[in-house]
Amino acid sequence: MSASTIISHNPLLQGTGLPPFAEIKPERVVPAFNQLLAELDQQLATLEANVEPSWSGLVEPLEKLTERLSWSWGVVNHLMGVKNSPELREAHEIVQPLVVQFINKLGQSQPIYNAFKALRSSESWATLELAQQRIVEAAIRDAELSGVGLKGEARERFNTIQMELAELSTKFSNHVLDATKAFSLTLTKKAEIDGLPPSLVSLAAQAARAAKEENATAENGPWRITLDFPSFGPFMQHSTRRDLREKLYKAHITRASSGDLDNNPLIVRILELRQELADILGFKSFAQLSLASKMAPNVEAVEALLEELRQASYNAAVKDLKELQAFAASYGEEYQDLKHWDISFWGERQREAKFAFTAEELRPYFPLPQVLDGLFGLVKRLFGVTVTSADGQAPVWHEDVRYFQIADETGSPIAYFYLDPYSRPAEKRGGAWMDVCINRGKTEHGASGIRLPVTYLICNQTPPVDGKPSLMTFYEVETLFHEFGHGLQHMLTKVDYAGAAGINNVEWDAVELPSQFMENWCYERPTLFGMAKHYETGEALPEHYYQKLLAARNYMSGTAMLRQIHFSSIDLELHYRYRSGSNETPADVRHRIAKTTTILPPLPEDSMLCAFGHIFEGGYAAGYYSYKWAEVLSADAFAAFEEAGLENEEAIKATGRRYRDTVLALGGSKHPMEVFKTFRGREPSTIALLRHNGLVSAAAQ
């Protein structure tokens, strides 16, 4: 059998184009990677032997090699997030060390590193475009951070650590998924669902049916409540049963913190290994290693921003809690003392009383198909691009997944994206994210051929229940806009070199700029009214609801801001000052940080760190502050539209095109500060962020 026949038989070796999801089975993962890594090893050896310090003799062949790996490995990781199964996990576990081993080998290749440095100091350097120079600079920096300068034992130890860290982060993620799945609350009496909105009651009956209670109905139960967010969140907000809220809350904060799924030892080990990694590379802490490739100049700059925002939000958060306490107490003696499991519930009651609407009342006005129409209408207005359905033109991994095309002003396709909108707790991890399916770049066909980018957009919103479309909470609408913002940066890039196209080579703490920027538009009148129509009657959202949404936008914003500061500060402290083996455990560090970043201190058993996937399984280690860092940029970017005049359609269009041509088009071809200054004409300021959060007066005091 020829090599090409084997390749055609294993879909994971396709290496280019859209993945044929229907044909990708877990049992094909190991054979595919055994073959792929053997071939790549051979290609690497050939490249090392013949490398030339030029774009075509170094960067292009290297890119071809890495793209084959990232295509196949990207598909497997994508399926781990959206179609997790014991068989896939097992295959992933076998293959992951081999992939990490190859990535280390590639990152530490002396001939390739030397060739990059020779290219940088050659005469042809000046002839390279800025994007090409940034790619080369990043390759040199990444090689140094990948241990290219290490010898002997140090290199071996470095590689062993990388391998163990990859394994630990997958294990951490699986533990959280399993612990979330393992807990459920089955309710059988009407009294136990008191206060729950109809949407949650239907969802809970559907969950019970899925768990073999074939006769479960929304009217008569049983109802199954889970720790999956579309179930957990609304239950905490609306259940009048304080005892059940307490039970659910405690299950949530202790996820993956005991028994077989205990993440505590993993956390200690991960932090220990990260510190050792930093030591080997000559950094004092992992935070300093992490910042070496970020936009923030140093840890002090990050701490200064967090402290500025902490001071602006702390007193506002104290006031939030006092008001909530007084509000709850007015309902009776037993609510004098608010507990953690009361905050969401009373927060929602107070919001209803203050602004005279419930989050649930708005759901019928936000069916997913209409929200998509509104979102697509906005991007056409701002950026001149048209989104149309391309369902059926691409293989999908689940029947609910949709596929879309983006076209420019001339009608030519420039990008595509998948949308996987609904929660599937049995196989899909929680949260929402954007991921790269295909990078934009030059194809084999000379200068004219451009490969179009394709993006995965993943949400976990309420699925359609009982014949109704997916009716979204306003928060879910904001989440969709957020992920689409990431997608736009990837899809509207004008950079033709994959290494700096879209989100590639963009400093991590600037990556959230385009996503958070899009959330602001959910509150803008034409955008909101363009999508908010009742799913049964087609009636537009009544004006009074819009006014209430605006009024409620900064409800408890001090508390929300402080919560993000809390997470960011813990992350930084654990990766900067904490050392394993000291008298403090990671949990102690968290409780210490909580003294200045929470108003209601966490319960002693609160094991939030055990489910803090962002920093222990995702890429946010010593980088969680990026949300706030980038929010300063995104608020300031949106302020450019406010200054142009949101009522002035011409000015909005002009500003939108400028934003598209800078923030969205330039990708990683320039430093984010340069990109921002090109768009805004100056460096960013925190004023817009504090103003949007209603915290300006607090900051001024």
* Element spanning 43, H or E: helix 29-50
- Residue 443 tokens read as 């194809």
The answer to whether the beta carbons of residues 105 and 140 sit under 8 Å apart is no
Report how far residue 648's alpha carbon sits from residue 383's, in angstroms, rounded to the nearest whole number: 15
Exposed e or buried b for every residue in 148-161, given b needs 16+ CB within 10 A?
bebeeeebebbbeb
3-class secondary-structure state, position 212:
coil
Distance, first Cα to last Cα, the chain:
77
| Rounded Cα–Cα distance for residues 128 and 120 (Å) | 10
Q: How far apart are CA 556 and CA 561, in angstroms?
A: 9
Q: Give the DSSP per-residue string, 342-360.
A: HHHHHHHHHHHHHHS--HH
* C-alpha to C-alpha distance for 283 and 289, rounded to whole angstroms: 6
Question: Do the Cβ atoms of 227 and 252 come closer than 8 Å?
Answer: yes
Q: Which of 348, 483, 519, 631 is catalytic?
A: 483
Looking at residue 11, its amino acid is P
| Cα(545)–Cα(125) distance, integer angstroms | 58
Q: To 10 degrees, the CA torsion angle through 131, 137, 142, 148? A: 140
Which single residue is written with the structure tokens 């980018």? 453
229 Cα distance to chain centroid = 15
Q: Where are the beta strands (DSSP E) in 332-451?
A: 386-389, 402-407, 413-422, 433-438, 441-442, 450-451
Dihedral, CA atoms, 530, 534, 540, 542, nearest 10 degrees? -120
Whether 399 is a known active-site residue: answer no
Task: Detail the DSSP E strand segments found in 166-285.
Answer: 184-187, 223-226
Q: How far apart are CA 499 and CA 121, in angstroms?
A: 20
**How long, in residues, is the chain?**
701
Query: Which residues face 420 on adjacent strands?
Result: 458
* CA distances for 158 relative to 48, 278, 280, 402, angstroms: 22, 10, 7, 42
Residue 620 amino acid letter: Y
Distance, in Å, from the CA atom of 618 to the CA atom of 622, rounded to the nearest integer, reads 11
CA distance 147 to 110: 10
* Alpha carbon distance 361, 175 (integer Å): 36
- Helix axes 368-383 and 474-491, enclosed angle (nearest 10): 40
Which positions are catalytic? 483
